[in-house]
Chains A and B, each alone.
Chain A
Amino acid sequence: MSPASSETPAPLLSVRDLAVGFGRGPADREVVHGVGFEVQPRETLAIVGESGSGKTVTALSINRLIDHAGGRILRGRMLFRRGDQTDLDLAQAPPHEMRHIRGAEIGMIFQEPMTSLNPVHQVGHQIAESFVLHHGLSTRAALRRARDALDRVRIPDAERRMRDYPHQLSGGMRQRVMIAIALACAPRLLIADEPTTALDVTIQAQIVALLAQLRDEIGMAVIFITHDMGLVAEVADRVLVMRNGAVVERGELDRVFDRPSHPYTRELLDSVPHFRRGQAVRAPRDGDRPAAEPGHATPPAAGTGPAAAARTPVLSVRDLSVRFPVRAGLLRRVVGVVRAVDGVDFDLVAGETLAIVGESGCGKTTIARAILGLVRPARGAVSIARPAGDRQDATRIVQMVFQDPLASLNPRLTMRSLLAEPVIATGAGVGDATVDHMVELLRRVGLPRDCLDRYPHQFSGGERQRLCIARSLMTNPHVVILDEAVSALDVSIQAQVLDLLMELQAERGLAYLFISHDMAVVERVAHRVTVMFAGQVVEVGSAACVLARPAHSYTRRLIAAVPSVDRAQRRRHFALDTSEPPSLLRPADYEPPPAIWRRLEQDHVVRAET
């Protein structure tokens, strides 16, 4: 094979038949089986696949970090065209040569910027280190270059930020610093391994836009690894789809997305909940909510509408505020409060899904914790409707499903004990009826009876989340709070779990409080949407109204940032916005100005912006 044929430009990287194994007998534990692809200069190749598809192992093999992760390259060639136009087989290159290649010619950014940065060094010095190592600059000159690098990744006030430590920066800022480090030596290839997965969607849009601009400025090629098909549509020139360590499809972005040739690619594209700007919302639940909308005055003048009583909520929250005191000084005096949740109202009706959307730190989860009594509200009330004659504890009526199913199951208990716990907590004994109930619920969520005596680690991620759902239903609750309940699952499993949730809702008339940052998922499950920003509700309405006609500037930004696989939306470029979210920290005696609400449609209100 000649890497440089006469008519096409020579590829920057040409990988042929790459196989990687792990452990003592790497040949027996091969996880990447004969992967091949090419990367041309200045192009972006996206490697997509679900967890366990071998995409990260492939990427780590390119810069040979895989050697440090316990892996072995079993066979294959990875020809890399170096800056001096010589070809180097990265699979055979000796360690000292790889050390030079890494950073100088191949840069890499990782998923979690906090763990990739050293917490005890100022970020300026961490960037400067790269210049010292690869260019032999003096510390002073390197620091000057580091400041330029921070400017290049559009960090405002770079001079001051140089002296910050990683924990003083927000997630998006940290990822920018990581990019600055990776690009310090103007590499010719950048490997980005899920660089935005840990970030909020608006920050993700910013990082993706930044990467696109820098790619053009520096003229580097990018290998972008992700599980998010929407993101692929936004960034890639060409796509490589991986499954179980092998390539199932590769090609130009438009060809792969419009005419996928492999069934798995089609499955991936179909299972991704595509955000369709409010066109794919669930049918409004007419019938059981007659004429309720006019009176549904959730945030403004809560509960005063004449029809408010008509829709007897199972859960209603009024003027809920949660504050965390901030103490400082020798005497630990309260110097201010973080207003995590500030004057939130909503009602939840049986059989309805209310989605609370917003970015991390906006107070969504704090609301859930306040409803369940895990944090004490500073003000406001949570009232839970109980059926007549039911004197049981409110905890029986409201249950919660957490984001990470593995973390929310005690690893040392069998499923039988785990499922019994909510029942034991209500004070009831565990008898044959309880076990019958467990088996019935397991059957309902699609799991066999024999899993009662298994431990959590013996299930897959999707199965574990089904188990958590079954557990939350053990007490026959009326309200289930789903806190990012599908966010940690692979897309194909995510779709199944969402379907299960909607079926259960229809069967049992459950009310869901669906907390999520994923607009596409929200569009599929929500009847009504509440948008939160910085601890406050900024927009409320039916899902169709809010998602199709967002009125608040924040909602608009949130929706604009959602990646889409639609043809017209591919390879969008965002304007770079370097503003930071507002701080929630206020003086202890601060009172916000009263909210002014505007009604836009019958069931759509928005907070007036100041």
Chain B
Amino acid sequence: MNALHDLLSHPSGRIGGLILIVYLLLALAGIVALVPYDPVAQFPAARLQAPDAAHIMGTDLFGRDVFSRLAVGVRTSFVIAVASVAIAGLIGTVIGLLAAWWGSWRDSLLMRLMDVFLAFPAILLALLVVTVAGPGTLTTILAIAVVYTPIFARVARGPALSIKARDFVDAARTFGSSQFYILTRHLLLNLAAPLTVQATLALSWALLTEAALSFLGLGTQPPAPSLGLMLSESRNLMEFAPWLLAFPGLAIMLGVMGFNLLGDALRDVVDPRTRSARA
């Protein structure tokens, strides 16, 4: 509770939190289909209408309501981002933790493997996964998870190595505590702070990567809406119907910014050094 209070009294935390709450509401609206129009229903009579009272964000080339598509698109993006970061966080943390715990050749093996993944540009690696497995929501989640797993492995391994050398881990060994107990109660618990920060930042990258994949036609498949797809569909109409680009573009930008600001604030809040500096 104290941490939450600190987070909300941090300026970036407040702005980031506000943006994300708006997004969450939007995504919720998308999930329960609480949108003014069916996002895939086409109304040829109402093509390319500028924003007005009936369509607050206007309509696209097929007369579909942009606001409805945006809400559902935000939902899709969120689900993909959260799911992929959750998978990456879980696998990456386990790999990093075990590498640090085992040490020696197993550590080298695991981390060199992670380095190989890290050596590829994120989009290229995701493209590779999607090309092999075929496009779709599930593959998008997997592709993004593969890209971010090594980052979590690194973030977990560094602090885990230093915690492993601390007296309380030695003390636990003198009690004869099981490895599982030491790994979860002593190592993982002390990794909670850096991993939370990393997860928040990874969410913003995941959002961006998902948009990029959809833009390239390898993520969400039409006619289902997605932010990247909406940009891609309307890029030829930029001069006639700028709102088609502006709203999804803005949505991506604000989403990424929201996660980034929240991540920055979290980093300040969980780091005792910056916390005391602000006090």
Contact of A425 among B167, B181, B189, B190 (CB under 8 A): B181
The interface residues of chain B lying within 8 Å CB-to-CB of A425 are 172, 175-178, 181
A42-50, A139-147, A416-424: which lies at the B interface?
A: A416-424
Min distance, Cβ A370 to any Cβ of chain B, angstroms: 12
Q: Which of B167-200 contact A (CB under 8 A)?
A: 167-168, 170-178, 181, 185-186, 189-190, 192
Contact of B190 among A374, A395, A410, A426 (CB under 8 A): A410
Minimal Cβ-Cβ distance residue in B for A400 = B174
**Once the chains are docked, how many angstroms separate the CA of A402 from the CA of B167?**
8
- Please tell me if B166 contacts chain A, counting CB pairs below 8 Å: yes
Evaluate contact between A424 and B166: CB separation under 8 angstroms: no
The interface residues of chain B lying within 8 Å CB-to-CB of A424 are 177, 181
Contact A408 B173, CB 8 Å, known A413-B185, A425-B178, A425-B181: no
Evaluate contact between B185 and A417: CB separation under 8 angstroms: yes
Contact A408 B168, CB 8 Å, known A413-B189, A417-B185: yes
Contact of B175 among A399, A409, A413, A417 (CB under 8 A): A399
Min distance, Cβ B93 to any Cβ of chain A, angstroms: 16
Question: Most chain-B CB neighbours within 10 Å: which of A399, A404, A417, A421?
Answer: A421
Majority secondary structure of chain A interface residues (helix, strand, loop or mixed): loop
Contact of B176 among A393, A417, A468 (CB under 8 A): A393
Contact of A412 among B173, B181, B190 (CB under 8 A): B190
The interface residues of chain B lying within 8 Å CB-to-CB of A395 are 174-176
Evaluate contact between B189 and A410: CB separation under 8 angstroms: yes
The interface residues of chain A lying within 8 Å CB-to-CB of B181 are 421, 424-425
Evaluate contact between B173 and A372: CB separation under 8 angstroms: yes
**Once the chains are docked, how many angstroms separate the CA of A109 from the CA of B171?**
34
Evaluate contact between B167 and A421: CB separation under 8 angstroms: no
Question: Most chain-A CB neighbours within 10 Å: which of B172, B174, B185, B190?
Answer: B174
- Please tell me if A587 contacts chain B, counting CB pairs below 8 Å: no
Contact A372 B190, CB 8 Å, known A413-B185, A424-B181: no
Minimal Cβ-Cβ distance residue in B for A456 = B168
- Please tell me if A411 contacts chain B, counting CB pairs below 8 Å: yes
Question: Most chain-A CB neighbours within 10 Å: which of B167, B185, B186?
Answer: B167
Contact A421 B174, CB 8 Å, known A408-B167, A408-B168, A412-B189: no
Evaluate contact between A421 and B175: CB separation under 8 angstroms: yes
Contact A421 B177, CB 8 Å, known A402-B167, A413-B189: yes
Q: Which of A289-342 contact B (CB under 8 A)?
A: none
Minimal Cβ-Cβ distance residue in B for A369 = B170
The interface residues of chain B lying within 8 Å CB-to-CB of A396 are 176
Q: Which of A422-467 contact B (CB under 8 A)?
A: 422, 424-426
**Once the chains are docked, how many angstroms separate the CA of A410 from the CA of B176?**
16
**Once the chains are docked, how many angstroms separate the CA of A421 from the CA of B186?**
11
Min distance, Cβ A532 to any Cβ of chain B, angstroms: 21
Contact A426 B176, CB 8 Å, known A412-B192, A413-B185: yes
**Once the chains are docked, how many angstroms separate the CA of A271 from the CA of B213?**
71
A interface residue count range (under 10 / 10 to 19 / 20 to 34 / 35 or more): 20 to 34
Contact A408 B170, CB 8 Å, known A413-B185, A413-B189, A417-B185: yes
- Please tell me if A568 contacts chain B, counting CB pairs below 8 Å: no
Evaluate contact between A407 and B176: CB separation under 8 angstroms: no
Question: Most chain-A CB neighbours within 10 Å: which of B171, B172, B178, B185?
Answer: B171
Evaluate contact between B171 and A400: CB separation under 8 angstroms: yes
Evaluate contact between A411 and B170: CB separation under 8 angstroms: no
Evaluate contact between B174 and A374: CB separation under 8 angstroms: yes
Minimal Cβ-Cβ distance residue in B for A418 = B168
Min distance, Cβ B182 to any Cβ of chain A, angstroms: 10
**Once the chains are docked, how many angstroms separate the CA of A125 from the CA of B122?**
46
Evaluate contact between A402 and B171: CB separation under 8 angstroms: yes
**Once the chains are docked, how many angstroms separate the CA of A74 from the CA of B150?**
52
Evaluate contact between A402 and B170: CB separation under 8 angstroms: yes
The interface residues of chain A lying within 8 Å CB-to-CB of B173 are 372, 374
**Once the chains are docked, how many angstroms separate the CA of A417 from the CA of B174?**
16
**Once the chains are docked, how many angstroms separate the CA of A75 from the CA of B190?**
43
Evaluate contact between A421 and B166: CB separation under 8 angstroms: no
Evaluate contact between A411 and B190: CB separation under 8 angstroms: yes
**Once the chains are docked, how many angstroms separate the CA of A512 from the CA of B174?**
16
Convert A57-101 into 0s and 1s, putting 1 for each residue whose CB lies closer than 8 angstroms to a CB of B.
000000000000000000000000000000000000000000000
**Once the chains are docked, how many angstroms separate the CA of A468 from the CA of B174?**
13
Evaluate contact between B168 and A409: CB separation under 8 angstroms: yes
Q: Which of A337-377 contact B (CB under 8 A)?
A: 372, 374
Evaluate contact between A404 and B175: CB separation under 8 angstroms: no
**Once the chains are docked, how many angstroms separate the CA of A421 from the CA of B177?**
7
**Once the chains are docked, how many angstroms separate the CA of A374 from the CA of B190?**
22
Convert A580-597 into 0s and 1s, putting 1 for each residue whose CB lies closer than 8 angstroms to a CB of B.
000000000000000000
The interface residues of chain A lying within 8 Å CB-to-CB of B192 are 412
The interface residues of chain B lying within 8 Å CB-to-CB of A412 are 189-190, 192
Evaluate contact between B168 and A410: CB separation under 8 angstroms: yes
The interface residues of chain B lying within 8 Å CB-to-CB of A393 are 176
**Once the chains are docked, how many angstroms separate the CA of A410 from the CA of B172?**
10
Q: Which of A123-163 contact B (CB under 8 A)?
A: none
Question: Most chain-A CB neighbours within 10 Å: which of B166, B173, B175, B185?
Answer: B175
6 CB contacts below 8 A, A to B, read A374-B174, A398-B174, A400-B174, A412-B189, A421-B175, A425-B175
3 closest A-B pairs by beta carbon, nearest first, are A395-B176, A408-B167, A407-B167
Given contacts A408-B170, A410-B190, A421-B175, 18 further A-B contacts (CB under 8 A): A372-B174, A374-B174, A396-B176, A399-B174, A399-B175, A402-B171, A407-B168, A408-B168, A408-B171, A412-B190, A412-B192, A413-B185, A413-B189, A417-B185, A424-B177, A425-B172, A426-B175, A426-B176
